[in-house]
Amino acid sequence: MAVDRYNYSYNPDVLSCLANLSSDEVFTPPTVVNQMLDLLPQSLWSDPTTTFLDPACKSGVFLREISKRLLEGLKERIPDLQTRIDHIFQKQLYGIAITELTSLLSRRSLYCSKYPNSRYSITAFSEPSGNIQFHRIEHSWRNGRCVFCGATQSEYDRGLELETHAYGFIHTVYPEELFNMKFDVIIGNPPYQLSDGGAGASARPIYHIFIEQAKKLQPRYLVMITPSRWFAGGKGLDAFRREMITDKRIRRIVDYANAKECFPGISLGGGVNYFLWDRDNPGDCMITNVLNNNLSTKIRDLNEFPIFIRSNEAIGIIHKIRAFAEESFSSTVSSRNPFGFPSNHRGFKKSDIRQIKIFSSGDAGFVSDDEVIQGKELVDQHKLMVSKLISEHAGEPDKNGMFKVLSKMLLLEPQEVCTDSYLIVYSSKNNIEVENCFGYLCSRFARFLLLQAITSINLSKEKFIFVPLQDFSKPWTDEKLYTKYGLDEKEIAFIESTIRPWN
């Protein structure tokens, strides 16, 4: 008679504990895994032919939670417990671990033994890996980068004592050959990024490569959880964003603006989301926003706007504003590094012959006219300078669930410039216009619209796309803006519950 080890109640759940650890390769809490599994048709759990693949095993939690559902759902089809266990674990569940350590952890979670050919395993395999693969793979270098994931050779061309982070699922042209079989469901939480050798903590995203590779296998269903930065594109994600928002097979998205509501203890700029891709049932997408434990759900066309708008409540507001067909405020915003000075440039403390004042993230100094290598047309104008970093740490709201969005704004006089730490968002010979623009960006209205395009801690010209340009010969207040665009009480309340007053 089989010992029912699988229904043993862990207290506390070790996987819940792991999910609270900070890591570049984020562990998924079991509660979130089950919410993702709830997106799938419930008929899958009573089908003994359904196959599942986790292409990025870390803790084994996805396969473990799937096995629990199958063990219950197949009771009538396969009454004997051990026969049911053997069938599920050997013929339905498959995984590819991202490191040797996570392969052992995943096997321990799934088979109750890190070596499933041992006597401690709840099902007997002939091989020590069971159905959870891990093979150390080297990157394929060309011109200093991996042709599969884009990793830099200087960072990841390592000795045998270190992990290569050349993930098996995405380092092959033919992923179907990894198991030589078809999968009905591919589900997981892929690694998010790899260092690209740039300044500071510069990194390039890789989670989209896992999604693209999974689609090549044409599963019936694809469910993955990723950072939400792809909503707006950006570094390495523009083509992926276009493909995602035009793909009618994306049928569900659950989006957390604050990643900590999904991954406790993890700071992840721009939040996270998980989605359901349904191969055989295209249509519009049901989007659920989660913020401060409040849920809002709406069926929408993902490709309605140039940048995907996360907030369901914001859609109606933006429709009212776009009906005015006004020019976007983004048309007045400078490109990156408006005057050609790097962020660490401090200038000289004394003016002497250097008559231009420069503002940096550290202090103010002085530079000469010939040191200004771009944006010379702005030097003699009044200007509004805005910090390139948003106010919120990692894009997270404050304890009341509200955002300030903009962190530092400063009015610059003629003969004043700034470093790459800032953007020049408006300029004019008329200082009154610039002051009125300052007041406009202080409004909750303008900062709310700016927030709709933000999916990281960085501001750029295109993030102002939904903010309409105003006539700055006169001042603007929230009340005037609400009246101009005909916002109703519910819409106003939503803006004011989202955006903090400007102090």
Domains and CATH numbers, the chain: 28-249 (3.40.50), 319-498 (3.90.220)
Length of the chain: 503
CA 268 to chain centre: 7
Place of tokens 């102002």: 464
Nearest-angstrom CA–CA distance, 267 and 281: 35
Residue 70 near residue 24 (C-beta atoms within 8 A): no
Confidence at residue 19, expressed as pLDDT on a 0 to 100 scale: 56
Q: How buried is residue 155: exposed, middle or buried, by Cβ count under 10 Å (0-12/13-18/19+)?
A: middle
Backbone angles phi, psi at 95, to 5 degrees: -150, 160
Q: What is residue 201's predicted lDDT score, i.e. its pLDDT?
A: 58
Work out the burial of residue 274: count CB atoms within 10 Å of its CB; fewer than 13 is exposed, 13-18 middle, 19 or more buried. buried
pLDDT score, position 258:
87
**pLDDT recorded at residue 20:** 47
Tell me the pLDDT of the chain (503 aa) as tens digits: 444 544 543 344 556 545 544 345 678 999 999 999 999 999 999 999 999 999 999 999 999 999 999 999 999 999 999 999 999 999 999 999 998 889 999 999 999 998 999 999 999 999 999 999 999 999 999 999 999 999 999 889 988 778 888 999 999 999 988 898 999 999 999 999 887 766 555 678 999 999 999 999 999 999 999 999 898 777 788 899 999 999 999 999 999 988 889 998 787 878 899 999 999 999 999 999 998 888 999 999 999 988 889 899 999 999 999 999 999 999 999 988 999 999 888 888 776 666 899 998 767 889 988 899 999 999 999 999 999 999 886 567 787 888 999 999 999 999 999 999 999 999 999 999 999 999 999 999 999 999 998 877 889 999 999 999 999 999 999 999 999 999 999 999 999 999 999 98
pLDDT score recorded for residue 204: 87
Q: Are 386 and 406 in contact (CB under 8 A)?
A: yes
Q: In 3D, which of 38, 20, 28, 397 has the Cα closest to residue 192?
A: 28
Structure tokens at 362: 């550290």
pLDDT at 267: 77
What is residue 169's predicted lDDT score, i.e. its pLDDT?
A: 95
Q: Which pLDDT value is given to residue 61?
A: 96
Q: What share of the chain is helix, strand, coil (3-state, %, to 5)?
A: 30, 20, 50
Query: What is the reported pLDDT for 23?
Result: 44
